[in-house]
Amino acid sequence: MSILVLKEIKNGEKRVAATPADVSLLSTLTRVYVEKDAGKESGFSDDDYGDAGADIHSREQMREVMLSIAEPIVIKVKELLPPEYDFLHSGSGGQTGAVMGFGHLASNRELTMMTVARKATYLSLEDIVVNGKRPVLANMSEVAGEEAVRLAKKHLPEGSPAYILIGYGTAGRAAHRAIATSGSVPLVCALDISVGLDKLNSFFGLSPAPSLLTSCTLENFDTEIRTAIRNCRGGHYGARETPIVMILSPYIPESTAPKMIRRSIIPMLPRGSAIVDISIDQGGACEFSRATSHDEPIADINGVSYIGIPNLPGGAPLRATPMLSMTTRPFILEIARKGFVQALRDNESLRNAVSVYQGKVTSRGLAKTFGLEHAPIASLLA
């Protein structure tokens, strides 16, 4: 088995899937190949990786290396893009090759079907669950929440907006902390879907605390969001004068994001308002969701600025890459020590994060999304 660390090619993606510190540990267990300039935007040179024990290669050389290895484990940050589909390798000689990265396959039929067709294996980092929590996803969601506020401030007109946070999990609360450190004291309304009384009560006493926190269901959400908009437009802000920033981060594991914002909401928003759709990785939380990019972050939706960058943390690599490394390192090291299949057998968190195994869909949510046959991972590893 060998580890291959690819350079990210998605627009604006500056993170890298492994740091030189990771490679230093991995190289004592297996051979590690790092693509040239993979860590440059995160502050790591090729020499840093070479000194840590990695072989440095061009993209084409990485393809050749992969084909020569029985059990290539490709680690990435973001999903494979079409020019990278060659790295979907099923393995050889009875071994299993795999791709590890944020897959969000439920919003990507093409990649899902390509993985199935090539009898490949995809382990989705966002689906690693430990004691009921998603540590890898949570760390990147924290950065995404912070970046959502930074981008909104950068692209909004002068003035202090009111904020509506839809989804008050890790990303929503991180966004709120970022808002609170801005020096102003804006109105912040938070809506969370079906959180239940216990979870709702746990939000109270948080610092900062939202001005208004509402628990709602998908069925009554439209009523609640209209109420929140009216509250943000009224009071000491005055009618229609204060822009509103909506930050959307509803999340459904192994599925697409729920469509929370209807087109009919747009006319209610004051001029100069913005929507930052963190959930775009899962297809977006609006009826009109569309992917934008770090190069072209804004789409105009009838006078409202819509930001739907699928890899928000990729714009903050100096913060995001070390956080990513901290959560993925134990899992990658376990794979390097035991081999991929044995690590899956021994570690439930890794096993249940496999979306597709040797071409069979092992994620129940993914199978349901695309109408594919579901094959429980345990039965395939028996």
pLDDT, tens only, 299-318: 999 999 999 999 999 999 99
* 138-315 CATH pick, 3.40.50.720, 3.40.50.11540, 3.20.20.70, 3.30.230.10: 3.40.50.720
List every span in the chain annotated with CATH 3.40.50.720: 2-127+317-381, 138-315
The alpha helices in 190-293, defined as continuous H runs, are 196-203, 221-233
Whether residue 65 is predicted with pLDDT greater than 90 in this model: the reply is: yes
Q: Tell me the residue type at 58.
A: S
- Cα 85 to Cα 108: distance, rounded to the nearest angstrom: 13
> pLDDT tens digits for 247-294?
999 998 888 999 999 999 999 998 889 999 999 999 999 999 999 999
Question: Comparing 111 with 209, which gets the higher pLDDT?
Answer: 111
Q: What confidence score (pLDDT) does residue 341 get? A: 96
Whether residue 123 is predicted with pLDDT greater than 50 in this model: the reply is: yes
> pLDDT tens digits for 77-110?
999 999 999 999 988 877 889 999 999 999 999 9
If one looks up domain 2-127+317-381 in CATH, what number appears? 3.40.50.720
Q: What confidence score (pLDDT) does residue 239 get? A: 46
Return the beta strands (E) in the chain as ranges. 2-5, 31-35, 55-57, 72-75, 98-101, 122-124, 162-166, 188-193, 212-216, 244-248, 274-277, 298-301, 304-307, 354-357, 360-361
Q: How many CB atoms lie within 10 A of CB 177?
A: 15
Structure tokens at 266: 């747009």
Tell me what the mean pLDDT of segment 115-142 comes to: 96
The alpha helices in 209-293, defined as continuous H runs, are 221-233
The model's pTM: 0.90
Beta bridge partners of 147: none
Q: What confidence score (pLDDT) does residue 213 get? A: 74
Beta bridge partners of 261: 286
Structure tokens at 216: 């709602």
Confidence tier at 205 by pLDDT (50, 70, 90): low
Tell me what the mean pLDDT of segment 344-349 comes to: 97
